[in-house]
């Protein structure tokens, strides 16, 4: 009797086996193949304009890229290698072998316009089969590192300071040039540049125009010594203008942000979970029944500021994809976000920043905390703990980072100077003030009622399981902790690929569970039927009659 089986490394079969026979019927690759094949053929028409040699079919390339992201192959070189070595990739590609450059172009450029359609089709499929109902969405965000140099930062405050210093040096050069008296009867002709003030910005184009005039006039100067001094000043002026143009480009890249990376100008430097400062993006994802229902990418580290664009992405997709209720943690409870939910008749289950502390039994607040000031609606005054009224003074406007304007009512006490408790109440030199946002307080009362209701308790319990599942799978199971592409548009495209593949993997697991359950039920019924045949006297029991 042989101890080991024989190994045939050369031709073992008369005819080579079919690749289809080597792949299990319930394999994930078949689910991806079936889904992409079911997409409308019209979406492939716009991928290429036509002309030249025939290209790889975008349907095949999309299958390959989706399956690659499902199996943690995020590198184009790894995908190209798998197309030559992996049976599942060979089966998807029909034995075609595009190189890594081709894979990268399809991933980062050609599929940008059709990915949204693919994601929407997948949502429709999940809805038709009852996995999602567009009722309760759970939102959360995370900061993920960009594909950017770790020390390639440009800080907005430094740019502003350097530009101001450069402008000051330019004005000083103009004063020195003016003092040289280029012509006895005229100045250099643009003295208004000096009259703008030390802190006013001067566009580099205007400075170059003036420098060009000065250079032309310098040719007519007969005094060689004065001419050499002017040449020296103009050379320094050219260098300063070059620096000024650099800072102007930096301000254009910043576009209101506090920083950006030189290697990925769309990435903003943010604090990661481990407290490292890196160029990164703020990812926003909404889920239902642990399926991704919406995704977006923000350059702002604040989830509050990122949420309006996240909700707007659903509106662009279609009204039917809007949920009945939106659930989120305290990072999302702002006046603007509540206003947007109310505008579209969506249930407000977003926590505000003081909701959780309100639910916990803590030590009493200080006696002059702003919550201890009682608002009397009829008189429109706040009552101080010492009994003094704070009357209405004015209404001011406060603009958020997204441009949303809030109306803030200001109330002020008139007799704080004689109060013996002033040192406990306020550190201000004047009287104590209360800033009151009427609209926000109304939204908070509505959100508090919703969150404390029976339905609100259920939704709050589900939130962690619903949305954190995606982040745990992305960072731990898929080991995706840094983007492969650069630029906001490409990063959002890559997040879309990750969302589609996550939904497809979860959908495949659900199908496998259903198939296994059906097979177990069939086996159980077969055993019961065979048992009845072997014991025919049971057929006379009343239960079988």
DSSP 169-234: HHHHHHHHHHHT-SSSS---S-GGGGGG-SSS---HHHHHHHHHHHHHHHTT---HHHHHHHHHHH
pLDDT for 185 equals: 41
| Band of residue 402 on the pLDDT scale cut at 50, 70, 90 | confident
Say whether pLDDT at 544 is over 80: no
Which is more confident, 171 or 50? 171
Distance between CA 116 and CA 128 in Å, rounded?
18
Closest CA to 118 of 528, 544, 499, 531: 499
Which two tokens mark 123?
A: 């949502």
Task: State the DSSP H helix or E strand holding residue 282, giving kind and residue range, or none if neither.
Answer: strand 277-288
DSSP-based helix, strand, coil % in the chain, nearest 5:
50, 15, 35
Cα 399–Cα 403–Cα 406 angle in degrees, nearest 5:
40
Average pLDDT over residues 261-282: 93
**Maximal C-alpha separation, the chain:** 130
Per-residue DSSP letter, 164: H
pLDDT for 16 equals: 67
Task: State the DSSP H helix or E strand holding residue 261, giving kind and residue range, or none if neither.
Answer: strand 259-261
Say whether pLDDT at 184 is over 90: no
Residue recorded with tokens 């316009």: 113
Which two tokens mark 187?
A: 């100045």
pLDDT for 429 equals: 82
- Cβ-contact 66, 36 below 8 angstroms: yes
pLDDT tens figures, 210-228: 777 767 666 655 566 777 7
Which two tokens mark 140?
A: 């959360």
CA-based radius of gyration for the chain: 34
pLDDT for 538 equals: 52
| Band of residue 116 on the pLDDT scale cut at 50, 70, 90 | very high
- Cβ-contact 327, 461 below 8 angstroms: no
- Cβ-contact 80, 97 below 8 angstroms: yes
Share of the chain above pLDDT 90, in %: 55
Share of the chain above pLDDT 70, in %: 87
Distance between CA 335 and CA 439 in Å, rounded?
7
Which is more confident, 238 or 137? 137
* pTM to 2 decimal places: 0.86
Lowest mean pLDDT among 192-206, 370-384, 521-535: 192-206
| Band of residue 368 on the pLDDT scale cut at 50, 70, 90 | confident
How far from the centroid of its chain's Cα atoms is residue 93's Cα? 32
For 234, list phi and psi in degrees, rounded to 5: -70, -35
Q: Average pLDDT, whole number, for the chain?
A: 86
Determine if residue 5 is left, alpha or beta; phi over 0 gives left, psi from -120 to 50 gives alpha, anything else beta: beta
- Cβ-contact 260, 157 below 8 angstroms: no
Residues 6 or more apart whose Cβ sits within 8 Å of residue 438: 407, 409
Burial 46-62, CB ≥16 within 10 A → b, else e: ebeeeeeeeebebbbbb
Average pLDDT over residues 315-340: 94
Distance between CA 333 and CA 328 in Å, rounded?
8
Distance between CA 32 and CA 65 in Å, rounded?
10
Average pLDDT over residues 336-349: 95
Say whether pLDDT at 127 is over 90: yes
- Cβ-contact 327, 349 below 8 angstroms: yes
Please tell me whether residue 447 adopts helix, strand or coil conformation: helix
47, 86, 179, 215 from 115: Cα distances, Å: 11, 25, 63, 55
Cα 304–Cα 305–Cα 308 angle in degrees, nearest 5:
95
Q: Name the superfamily (CATH) of residues 114-151+270-363+438-545.
A: Ribonuclease H-like superfamily/Ribonuclease H (3.30.420.10)
- Cβ-contact 506, 474 below 8 angstroms: no
- Cβ-contact 414, 387 below 8 angstroms: no
Neighbours of 112 (CB within 10 A): 14
Which two tokens mark 539?
A: 């057929």
User: Residue ranges per domain, the chain?
Assistant: 12-111, 114-151+270-363+438-545, 154-261, 364-437
Which two tokens mark 465?
A: 């399981």
| Band of residue 26 on the pLDDT scale cut at 50, 70, 90 | confident
Distance between CA 134 and CA 192 in Å, rounded?
61
Say whether pLDDT at 476 is over 70: yes
Beta bridge partners of 295: 285
Average pLDDT over residues 230-243: 83
Please tell me whether residue 296 adopts helix, strand or coil conformation: strand
How far from the centroid of its chain's Cα atoms is residue 385's Cα? 44
- Cβ-contact 42, 117 below 8 angstroms: no
pLDDT for 298 equals: 95
Determine if residue 532 is left, alpha or beta; phi over 0 gives left, psi from -120 to 50 gives alpha, anything else beta: alpha
Neighbours of 107 (CB within 10 A): 25
Closest CA to 352 of 292, 469, 439, 434: 439
């Amino acid at each position: 009797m042989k101890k080991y089986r024989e190994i045939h490394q050369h031709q073992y079969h008369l005819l080579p086996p079919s690749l289809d026979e080597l792949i299990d019927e319930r394999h994930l690759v078949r689910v991806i193949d079936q889904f992409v094949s079911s997409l409308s053929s019209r979406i492939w028409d716009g991928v290429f304009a036509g002309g030249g040699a025939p290209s790889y079919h975008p349907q095949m390339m999309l299958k390959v890229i989706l399956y690659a992201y499902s199996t943690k192959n995020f590198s184009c070189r790894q995908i190209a290698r798998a197309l030559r070595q992996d049976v599942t990739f060979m089966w998807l590609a029909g034995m075609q072998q595009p190189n890594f450059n081709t894979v990268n172009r399809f991933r980062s450029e050609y599929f940008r316009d059709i990915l949204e359609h693919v994601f929407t089709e997948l949502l429709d499929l999940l809805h038709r089969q009852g996995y999602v109902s567009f009722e309760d969405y759970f939102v959360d965000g995370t900061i993920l590192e960009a594909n950017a140099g770790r020390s390639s930062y440009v800080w907005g405050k430094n740019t502003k300071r350097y530009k101001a210093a450069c402008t000051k040096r330019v004005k000083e050069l103009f004063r020195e040039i003016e003092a040289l008296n280029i012509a006895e009867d005229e100045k250099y002709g643009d003295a208004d540049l000096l009259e703008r003030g030390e802190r006013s910005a001067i566009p580099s184009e205007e400075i170059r125009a003036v420098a060009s005039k000065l250079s032309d006039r310098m040719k007519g100067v007969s005094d060689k010594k004065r001419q050499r001094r002017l040449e020296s000043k103009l050379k320094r002026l050219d260098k300063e203008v070059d620096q000024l143009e650099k800072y102007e480009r930096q301000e254009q890249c910043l576009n209101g942000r506090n920083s950006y990376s030189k290697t990925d100008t769309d990435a903003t430097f943010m604090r990661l979970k481990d407290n490292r400062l890196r160029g990164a993006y703020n990812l926003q994802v909404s889920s239902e029944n642990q399926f991704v229902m919406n995704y977006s990418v923000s350059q702002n580290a604040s989830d509050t500021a990122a949420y309006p664009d996240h909700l707007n992405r659903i509106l662009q997709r279609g009204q039917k994809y809007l949920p009945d209720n939106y659930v989120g943690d305290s990072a999302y409870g702002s006046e603007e976000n509540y206003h947007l939910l109310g505008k579209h008749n969506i249930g407000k289950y977003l926590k505000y920043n003081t909701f959780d502390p309100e639910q916990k039994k803590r030590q009493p607040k200080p006696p002059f905390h702003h919550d201890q000031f009682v608002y009397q609606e009829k008189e429109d005054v706040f009552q101080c703990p010492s009994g003094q009224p704070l009357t209405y003074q004015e209404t001011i406007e406060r603009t958020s980072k997204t441009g949303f304007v809030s109306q803030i009512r200001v109330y002020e006490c008139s007799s704080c100077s004689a109060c013996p408790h002033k040192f406990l109440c306020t550190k201000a030199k004047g009287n104590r003030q209360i800033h009151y946002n009427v609209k926000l307080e109304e939204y908070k009362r509505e959100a508090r009622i919703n969150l404390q209701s029976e339905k609100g308790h259920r939704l709050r319990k589900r939130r962690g399981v619903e949305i954190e599942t995606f982040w745990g799978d992305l960072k731990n199971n898929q080991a995706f902790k840094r983007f492969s592409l650069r630029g906001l548009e490409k990063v959002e495209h890559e997040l879309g690929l990750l969302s589609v593949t996550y939904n497809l993997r979860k959908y495949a697991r659900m199908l496998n569970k259903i198939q296994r359950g059906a097979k177990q039920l069939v086996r159980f019924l077969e055993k019961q039927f065979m048992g009845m045949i072997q014991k025919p006297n049971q057929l006379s029991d009343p239960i079988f009659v």
